[in-house]
Structure 1
Amino acid sequence: MRDSELVSALADGWALEARSVSYLPVGAGSHHWAATGDDGRTWFVTVDDLGGENGENGEESGDGEGGVEEAFRGLGRALDTALALRRRAGLAFVVAPVPARTGATVWRLGPRHAVSLFPMLEGQSGQFGAHRQEDRAEVLGLLAELHRATPAVAADAPPADLALPGREGLREALDDLGRPWTGGPLSEPTRRLLAARAGHVERLLGDFDRLVERVRRAGAPPVVTHGEPHPGNLIRSATGLHLVDWDTVRLAPPERDLWMLDGDDDLLTGYTRATGRPVDPSALALYRLWWDLADIAAFVAELRGPHRVTGDIEASWTYLGGYLR
């Protein structure tokens, strides 16, 4: 994508005359730029690939023209929810998109991309992984506040299902272990690794299905969840913690967010006191396993398919090994 295309989209969508744009090598899945307007203010610009980049936990966002349109609508619905959480529910920690001149939160950029605009927030972001001990209580309070805001967006927020993203592709890979994989340099090592651990992966899939049934039988009402409230999606500014990257917002069990804080019974008891809702251990286990299996499925698909060895591919191989070894 040329910078000039992005500049044109910002002018058309937001009447933002960008005097400069610079690519930001941050995050994963989407692509990001800093755009500076004529007034000197800098904005954070996100471009999403609607036709094949991975969405929530490895799920493909679009396939063909119909899939691209569905992905565009889904992204818009998620970002509309983030904007409503900021404006309607008054959640100041939500870093919501800036509406375009039409009121839309996303703008088409060519046949398969969408652009969204956000305020540039000054602060320190974390990295993917466990929350620091000194941050955990504050993060829990933020999530409790988010979940309590459900009535403000329940009619419009996209719902989550309990299907495992990438499962079909992982199933195909497990059924195709008897012949060499020729997609790229790391395809055959991936096949051998998966073949050695196929029984383990099959057991994980069985555990996942049993946990899904337990959560479905419990029938607890959903809440609005972020989906990926890990440290990499939190920015600490002078005014406190802010939560970014809302394309994964869904109505779901609260444990979709809370599993990242599991292991601290006092903390989760505090969540129940703040919301009146008990935490379901089966749902915590489900979403922890969901994350692992979705990553395994995404890495196997990437390494099984056509590829060349890059830093990202080597990282995928390393992460897959961490899960399977």
Structure 2
Amino acid sequence: MGDTLLRKWLLADFGLEVVELTPVAHGADVAAQVWKMSTATNAYAVKWSGAGTNTGHQVAAFLADSGLPGVPEMIRTTEGGLWTFHGAKKRLTVTPWIDGVRAADTGLTDEQWAEYGVLLRRVHDSEPPARLRDALPKHSHIDARTPALAEEVRTRLETPEGDVEEELAAVWKQYDEVIADLLTNRPPAPSGPRVVCHGDPHIGNVLVDDALHLIDWDDVIYAPREQDLMFMLGGMGDVGPTTPGQLQAFLAGYGPHDIDEEAVRYYRHVRAFEDVIGWSHQALTGPDEPYCLEVTRGILSTGLAALAVA
């Protein structure tokens, strides 16, 4: 994506005249590019992404417009929309720039974990208009495409080329029973009451300045709240609570809820499947192949996959 073209889109679509554009690294989402954009008066986060669904941005806009603290505003287009499409049907969206740090890089204090529990509870207790609620996905769009990626990875690892592929093939062989369980032994899907879930609320998607901000709403889903609570209940390493005190602080902030352990087990299994296959695929296709290999190894050995099949 060239700067000149992006500047043209931002001016035409959002009426924003760019003074400076700076690329921003954005986690594991290879389907997205992110920039910090400055105009003469303000700074914004610009995202061009083919991931997720349109409804996630609609939910984020609804929550922000409702005054829910911690959900960044969606900047409207010149025609009043939330995004425009460019390229291969990739959405261009703009939000205010948050001059904070990623919680995954710095961690959260117990007080901040309690604050995050309050924020996530408010998301779950929100009541979007019926039309928006009914349009929300009921199942993970990532999960739907993961079996095809799994077959692609397995085929590639039959004849690995290079050090990373050979190491990944060895990891898959070492944890063959775990991977087979993820592929074939999913627990029954939960049938409890559904709420608006962020879908990916680990603290890699939390920014901290003088408050907490939950970002990256691409994967919003209408599901039992354990879809989100699973991320706090073990197996997510340093992007979830890492001490009993942090977990208790989060749960105290979140407030009363009888956790459905079978629903947690289901969503843990789904996420472990997505993560093992997704990180393995990225270890084969890039970028950051050696890093992705080590992430895959960690998920299988001591992380979410190990917990999911225990």
Deviations 1:205-228 (A, max 9, x none): 444x22xx151xxx2121001112
Deviations 1:14-62 (A, max 9, x none): 111112212223444222112222x3321111111x3xxxx46xxxxxx
Which of residues 282, 286, 306 in structure 1 aligns to 2:262? 282
Distance 2:280 2:171 in 1: 10
Assess, with a 3 A threshold, how the Cα gap between structure 1 residues 245 and 267 changes in structure 2: closer, same or farther. Answer: closer
Query: What residue is the counterpart of 1:60 in the other structure?
Result: none
Query: What residue is the counterpart of 2:306 in the other structure?
Result: none
Deviation at 1:142, TM superposition (A): 0.9
Does residue 256 (structure 1) correspond to residue 216 (structure 2)? The answer is no
Query: What residue is the counterpart of 1:230 in the other structure?
Result: 202
Between 20-29 and 2-11, report the one with greater CA deviation: 20-29
Contact 1:228 1:257 in 2 (8 A): yes
Aligned length: 283
Distance 2:90 2:175 in 1: 37
Deviations 1:219-239 (A, max 9, x none): 21210011122222222233x
Which of residues 96, 99, 105 in structure 1 aligns to 2:82? 105
RMSD (Å) for aligned C-alpha atoms: 2.7
Does residue 180 (structure 1) correspond to residue 181 (structure 2)? The answer is no
Distance 1:196 1:124 in 2: 37
Contact 1:129 1:230 in 2 (8 A): no
Does residue 83 (structure 1) correspond to residue 83 (structure 2)? The answer is no
Deviation at 1:319, TM superposition (A): 0.9
Deviation at 1:266, TM superposition (A): 8.0
Secondary structure of 1:232's counterpart equals helix
Secondary structure of 1:152's counterpart equals coil
Deviation at 1:7, TM superposition (A): 0.3
Distance 1:81 1:128 in 2: 27
Does residue 142 (structure 1) correspond to residue 122 (structure 2)? The answer is no
Distance 1:317 1:272 in 2: 38
Secondary structure of 1:79's counterpart equals helix
Does residue 122 (structure 1) correspond to residue 123 (structure 2)? The answer is no
Deviations 1:223-267 (A, max 9, x none): 0011122222222233x2221111112211111111222264685
Distance 2:231 2:201 in 1: 8
Distance 1:290 1:170 in 2: 13
Under a length normalisation based on structure 2, what TM-score does the superposition of the two structures give? 0.80
Deviations 1:64-122 (A, max 9, x none): xxxxxxxxxx2x322112101111x3313211321101122111233443211111123
Secondary structure of 1:156's counterpart equals helix
Assess, with a 3 A threshold, how the Cα gap between structure 1 residues 129 and 227 changes in structure 2: closer, same or farther. Answer: farther
Contact 1:95 1:244 in 2 (8 A): yes
Query: What residue is the counterpart of 1:65 in the other structure?
Result: none
Deviation at 1:141, TM superposition (A): 1.1
Which of residues 271, 289, 304 in structure 2 aligns to 1:291? 271
Contact 1:128 1:230 in 2 (8 A): no
Assess, with a 3 A threshold, how the Cα gap between structure 1 residues 192 and 145 changes in structure 2: closer, same or farther. Answer: same
Which of residues 198, 201, 205 in structure 1 aligns to 2:176? 198
Deviation at 1:304, TM superposition (A): 4.2
Assess, with a 3 A threshold, how the Cα gap between structure 1 residues 134 and 101 changes in structure 2: closer, same or farther. Answer: same
Query: What residue is the counterpart of 1:63 in the other structure?
Result: none
Query: What residue is the counterpart of 2:289 in the other structure?
Result: 313
Under a length normalisation based on structure 1, what TM-score does the superposition of the two structures give? 0.77
Secondary structure of 1:246's counterpart equals coil
Contact 1:292 1:323 in 2 (8 A): yes
Return 5+ residue gaps in structure 2 as ranges: 235-246, 302-310
Query: What residue is the counterpart of 1:62 in the other structure?
Result: none
Does residue 40 (structure 1) correspond to residue 41 (structure 2)? The answer is yes
